[in-house]
Amino acid sequence: MAHTMAEKILARAAGKKEVFPGELINARIDMALGNDITAPVAINEFRKIGIEKVFDRERIALIPDHFTPNKDIQSAEQVKLMRNFAREQGIVHYYEVGRMGIEHALLPELGLVLPGEVVVGADSHTCTYGALGAFATGVGSTDLAAVMATGELWFKVPPTIRVVFEGELPPWVSGKDLILYTIGQLGVDGARYAVLEFTGPAITALPMDARFSISNMAIEAGAKAGLIPPDAVTLRYLEDRAVRPYETVLGDEDAPVLQEFHWDVENMEPQVSAPFSPANAQPVSQVAGTEIDQVVIGSCTNGRIDDLRQAAALLKGRKVHPRVRLIVIPATQAVYLQALREGLLEIFAEAEAAVSTPTCGPCLGGHMGILAEGEVAVATTNRNFVGRMGHRGSRVYLAGPAVAAASAVAGVIAHPLELGEVKK
């Protein structure tokens, strides 16, 4: 029988010939992840199990990224607990400040998550790794504790919803716009406990950084995972990164799916999601002119080098509007260094933006850019719920780096084309 990509990956991980949607399975985990918020809970639960050693010290990653550099005593204690556990267990993939990055950008960059694998993380945006063709999903901290002890976890096999993007992408439209459009069409629960599988000419034309943005936000439509079939772009990305052998998995074209959508991108505008839901996606022209106080370019959704290049192209030779604060956060140290070598950080500084060390920071209302009551932000982050980035009376508009940069210059939400010619 024909099967989807997700079903094939889960079948292999479960040691079965085939699995079907709705079936309960026990699957072997290839990589498990925790951060400075979720890992301490998992570590405490792990100790209660009574097992002395983790299942595999090379298959667990612990990344301090949410409140780092430590913003207060509590966050420092959280990281200390995680750091001590990593040393005690000999966990190979613990990355300290100065070497770390935002978890969902760092793991792919280091080649730690690979096609055909099953990856779990105690963070909802673990679905990011679906861009590489892995079945990757977020779990609770107690589930992470069980995985650290046994290397296995149970799943209910999800059905698949296929999204096909046809046509050629217009200028300044990229992965973030496609996923915001998808969430706008499906709603925040339209793909609940299903796999979103993205394909079509517009997807295959995207570089890896844009694909990561798409898979990252699959959870915002309620999806269990967001998969993109591996192709030549995927393999080139992994060529000098993969830390272990892997085998790509592709679904059968005639595999039954729960739903299938075909959307043409030819006339698509950059998308913006208005408060207070990622599902409030609309063309930028519908919200253009909205006055803003702050812009954040970064996060596990859009803090990669291609995102910073887009922003820098629009900011070069321009200044951030005097009424606006622009915060740029490279997602990893490697991205920071690359941006430094390419002169992007100089462009940001000359535009009067603030550049931060890698951190999740403002995305979750942690630090490095908290909003006050009544303030409005444009952010390349992934959520804009009430109080997400600070005061409950603040508002966040989600957008890609191009709209974010253009808006920082204009002082209002703006289409990148409104700035005119991009300076080389």
Is 33's pLDDT higher than 70? yes
Mean pLDDT to the nearest integer, 191-199: 97
* Per-residue exposure over 321-351, b if at least 16 CB sit within 10 Å of its own CB, e if not: beebbbbbbbbbbbbbebbeeeebbebbeeb
The encoded tokens of residue 327 equal 């915060």
Q: Are the C-beta atoms of 274 and 287 separated by less than 8 Å?
A: yes
Residue 293 CA to residue 35 CA, distance in Å, equals 30
Provide the CATH number for the domain formed by 271-419 in this structure.
Answer: 3.30.499.10
Cβ neighbours of 312 (radius 10 Å): 24
Q: What is the pLDDT of residue 420?
A: 80
Q: Are the C-beta atoms of 141 and 51 separated by less than 8 Å?
A: no
Domain 5-262 CATH superfamily: Aconitase, domain 3 (3.30.499.10)
Q: Is 369 exposed, middle or buried (0-12, 13-18, 19+ CB in 10 A)?
A: buried
Share of the chain above pLDDT 90, in %: 97
Q: Are the C-beta atoms of 328 and 348 separated by less than 8 Å?
A: yes
Same-fold call for 5-262 versus 271-419: yes
Is 31's pLDDT higher than 70? yes
Is 245's pLDDT higher than 90? yes
Give the pLDDT confidence of 338-371 residue by residue, as tens digits: 999 999 999 999 999 999 999 999 999 999 999 9
Average pLDDT value over all residues in the chain: 97
- Amino acid sitting at position 141: S
Beta strand 135-138 with 152-156: parallel, antiparallel or unpaired? unpaired
Give the pLDDT confidence of 377-408 residue by residue, as tens digits: 999 999 999 999 999 999 999 999 999 999 99
Q: Are the C-beta atoms of 65 and 101 separated by less than 8 Å?
A: yes
Residue count (the chain) = 424
Is 424's pLDDT higher than 70? no
Q: What is the pLDDT of residue 423?
A: 65
The encoded tokens of residue 136 equal 């990757």
* Per-residue exposure over 385-410, b if at least 16 CB sit within 10 Å of its own CB, e if not: eeebbbeeebbbbbbbbbbbbbbbbb
Q: What DSSP element (H or E) covers 294?
A: strand 294-297
Q: What are phi and psi of 258, to 5 degrees?
A: -70, -45
Share of the chain above pLDDT 70, in %: 99
Cβ neighbours of 152 (radius 10 Å): 15
CA torsion, ordered 207, 362, 377, 124, to nearest 10 deg: 60
Is 69's pLDDT higher than 60? yes
Whole-model pTM: value is 0.96
Mean pLDDT to the nearest integer, 46-52: 94
Among residues 255, 248, 218, 213, the alpha carbon closest in space to that of 117 is found at: 248
Structure confidence at residue 88 as a pLDDT band (50, 70, 90): very high
Domain boundaries, the chain: 5-262, 271-419
